[in-house]
Structure 1
Amino acid sequence: MGAIAKHDFYVAGPFFNPEQTASMERLEQVLADHGKSMFKPRFASVIEEVGPEGCFADDTRGIREARAVIANLMDEDSGTMFEIGYAHALGKPVYGYLEGLDENSHVNLMIAQSVEMVFAGPDDLAHWLETGEHSEITYHQF
């Protein structure tokens, strides 16, 4: 029997500059607006206080304790890519989020094959949360 999930979503993604942070905030706002509980690693621990080992332990525990992972795919952040692979290896549902996704977009094949679907932004994610329906965009896998 698996552990009871503490959060609906582990929200993975880069947050190292204002553009990345704004994208993460839009993603988190949609989830919050739809009553979803979240583990947000960018707020989970302070590296200066717990060190790299503590951050790693907090974040991997957050993935294990979440029902699913949603990962912001902007900038192919290496930490986010690890979180996707770790969640996939655990058998967790993993969803991608890439604002502006269209048929000309490129997503690494290892990531594309690890996710259930990729949302093209806040409206696309909100529609799925409200209806359970999603129209997948065919993008390039490389």
Structure 2
Amino acid sequence: MQKQIYLAGGWFTPKQADMVARAHKALAANPTVGYIHSPQEHQYKDVTEDNDPNGLFGGYEWANQTYQNDITAMDLADMAVVLWDMADEDTGTAFEVGYLNASHTPIVFVCEDDLQENPINLMLAKGISKCVTDINELETLDFQFVAGEPYPGKII
């Protein structure tokens, strides 16, 4: 049975956008993955900062509905893939890690930065199931069973 994946991660910098694109491509090629929910593709009424003809972006209606879409997608996901950029940590992604962890959803944490040079907060480190240091690994990772492993990097 293929897994439904919630793909979390910022897309606000060129590095983050590149990570999301590469992760989506790798997951799409993985035979153990069925559906990939990437929040940037499911914004309320397709509104973005650059595409907002009715002035909804940043308002209550847009924020409420986009939040609810993401919560529903996390609730329906079998697994999550979380993309982490040490140079520009995203608070929304940190929230998603907490929510997914509290929902007992296994989390594959992806960070291509040096894990010994760039420590992460213990709450993130302890909330993940597996750490991957190369996005390309997502193409062959068996999402049918992701064994828990301790975070291998430096923790603060």
TM-score range (shorter-chain normalised) is 0.7 to 0.9
- Give the distance between the partners of 2:146 and 2:73, measured in 1 at CA: 27
Which of residues 59, 69, 76 in structure 2 aligns to 1:58? 69
Q: Which runs of 5+ in 1 are unaligned?
A: 1-5
Q: Distance in 2 between matches of 1:137 and 1:99?
A: 14
Q: Superposed, which structure 2 residues align to 1:29-48 within 5 Å?
A: 29-35=25-31, 36=33, 37-45=35-43, 46-47=46-47, 48=56
Assess, with a 3 A threshold, how the Cα gap between structure 1 residues 59 and 138 changes in structure 2: closer, same or farther. same
Please, which moves more after superposition, 97-106 or 14-23? 97-106
Identity rate, percent:
21
- For residues 20 and 98 of structure 1, the distance between their equivalents in structure 2, rounded to whole angstroms, comes to 11
Match in the other structure for 1:96: 109
Structure 2 segments unaligned to the other structure (5+ residues): 48-55
State the structure with more CA Rg.
Answer: 2
| Aligned twin of 1:12 | 8
Alignment RMSD (CA, Å): 2.7
Displacement after TM superposition at 1:138 (Å) = 2.4
Deviates more, 1:38-47 or 1:52-61: 38-47
1:31 aligns to what SS in structure 2?
helix
Measure, in 1, the Cα distance between the counterparts of 2:112 and 2:76: 26
Change in Cα spacing, 1:127 to 1:115, as seen in structure 2 (3 Å) is: same
- Aligned counterpart, 1:114: 127
Q: How far apart are 1:118 and its partner, in Å?
A: 1.0
The letter of the residue matching 2:129 is: E
Q: How many residues are paired up?
A: 137
What per-residue deviation string (whole Å, max 9, x for no partner) do you get for residues 8-30 of structure 1?
21000000122210111111111
Higher relative contact order (CA 8 A, sep 6+): 2
Question: Separation in 2 of the partners of 1:89 and 1:105?
Answer: 25
Q: Secondary structure, in 3 states, of the residue corresponding to 2:142?
A: helix
TM-score using structure 2 length: 0.76
Q: Is the 8 A contact 1:88 1:94 kept in 2?
A: yes
Q: TM-score with structure 1 length normalisation? A: 0.83
Give 1:119 shift: 0.5
